[in-house]
Homo-oligomer: A and B are copies of this chain.
């Protein structure tokens, strides 16, 4: 059986709405338009306009309203058409949601999910391509999830909605239409994944590759290429950026002794930087080679197809990085 990520997200929303009347959806075009990317398709019809709310294009206002509703005990799922627009509302995510349970000493909790596509899509240029993974994962009080497969999408979104704390849920537009095999267990409405746990997508012994979201697929492709050249790569799908599953990452690196981190976002203070620091802190003596970071180029996203391709990791880049980490020779890159 197969299921697209879009269907996985849609079914997770559907099931959680049907299980808990306190769950409701809000955001731009989530209702009558069926979602800008059709993630909420059919839900207005099924649950009515009281539980699927089309908002004006006013992120600060509707996000604040969502957080307030969560203070009161509802379980809002707030869609950002893309996470780029979450910057308009970021004060509510950080100051109103993330810090609330702490500064009220538990008096007011905030069971809310902020979700939507994050990071680069195709040809949408500088203002519509940013990955907010590292920013949100920087902030205590938030849980930050990023699914890759349909299994992830279902299990993590259901976990996020059931969770009593604020969750930032970072999807990827390009993955929405991608199909993944899916088991009966995952299709069961009780299915749920733990927050804070990574998944070993592929076992290996020579090198560890960490990735999240779309880059997990690239890492798996790279591992396939590498296996043909006799390098056995272990691919970790992070799933949760905060809490980060340091135990799983370090266990893997202690086994493989080499680490390549992969992400589409900007490198400085990125996901890879933290993973590198965590491994240096906890497993320094196991490391047999410098950690290799593969990340988005440290530039705003260009529009032109050739530049855009250069600005985000390709499978080849991962293969090259692994080879460097394994001290194999790498083809010389084109001069920049």
Q: Does A300 contact B (CB under 8 A)?
A: yes
Contact in complex: A274, B280 (CB < 8 Å) = no
- The docked-state distance in angstroms from the alpha carbon of A91 to that of B87 is 5
Q: Are A284 and B277 in contact (CB under 8 A)?
A: no
Bound complex: CA of A94 vs CA of B266, how far in Å?
13
User: Among the listed B127, B140, B277, which residue makes an inter-chain contact with A273, where contact means beta carbons less than 8 Å apart?
Assistant: B277
Q: Mark A147-171 against chain B: 1 for CB-CB distance below 8 A, else 0.
A: 0000000000000000000000000
One of A98-106, A115-123, A192-200 at the interface: A98-106
Q: List chain B residues, Cβ under 8 A from A284.
A: 287, 289-291
Cβ-neighbour of A270 out of B102, B269, B303 (below 8 A): B269
Q: From B125, B273, B277, give the contact of A103 (CB < 8 A).
A: B125
Q: Which of A4-12, A25-33, A130-138 contacts B (4 or more CB under 8 A)?
A: A130-138
Contact status of A300 and B126, CB under 8 A, knowing A274-B269, A276-B273: no
A18 at the interface (CB under 8 A from B): no
Q: Is the CB of B99 within 8 A of A127?
A: yes
Q: Is A281 an interface residue (CB 8 A)?
A: yes
A141: interface (CB < 8 Å): yes
Cβ distance A209 to chain B, nearest Cβ, rounded Å: 16
A183 interfacial contact with B, CB 8 Å: no
Q: Answer whether A277 and B300 are a contact pair too, CB < 8 Å, given A102-B126, A125-B103, A244-B268.
A: no
Q: Interface digits, A56-89 against B, CB 8 Å rule (1 contact, 0 not)?
A: 0000100000000000000000000000100110
Decide if B276 touches A280 in the complex (CB within 8 Å). Answer: yes
Docked Cα-Cα span, A242 to B287, in Å, equals 28
Q: Are B269 and A300 in contact (CB under 8 A)?
A: no
Which of A87, A269, A277, A302 has the most chain B CB atoms closer than 10 A to its own CB?
A269
A274 to chain B, nearest CB (A): 5
Report how far A325 CA is from B292 CA in the complex, Å.
23
Tell yes or no: A272 within 8 A of B by CB.
Answer: yes
Residues in B whose Cβ lies below 8 Å from that of A174: none
* A293 contacts B by Cβ under 8 Å: yes
Q: Taking the complex as formed, is A139 at the interface, i.e. its CB lies under 8 A from any CB of chain B?
A: yes
Q: Is A334 at the interface (CB under 8 A from chain B)?
A: no
> B126 touching A99 by the CB < 8 A rule?
yes
Q: Check: A299 CB closer than 8 A to any chain B CB.
A: yes
Complex Cα spacing A271 to B292, Å: 18
Residue from A84, A125, A270 with most neighbouring chain B CB atoms (10 Å): A270
Listed by A's residue number, 9 A-B pairs whose Cβ atoms lie within 8 Å are A134-B138, A134-B269, A140-B298, A269-B271, A273-B273, A273-B274, A277-B291, A280-B290, A284-B289
User: Besides A276-B280, A281-B290, A281-B291, 9 other CB < 8 A contacts?
Assistant: A84-B95, A95-B126, A103-B302, A138-B270, A140-B266, A269-B271, A272-B277, A273-B274, A281-B292
Interface set of A (CB-CB < 8 Å, partner B): 60, 84, 87-88, 90-91, 94-95, 98-99, 102-103, 125-127, 130, 134-135, 137-141, 242, 244, 266, 268-274, 276-277, 280-281, 284-285, 287, 289-293, 298-300, 302-303
Nearest first, the 6 closest Cβ-Cβ pairs linking A and B are A284-B290, A276-B277, A87-B91, A99-B126, A99-B300, A273-B277
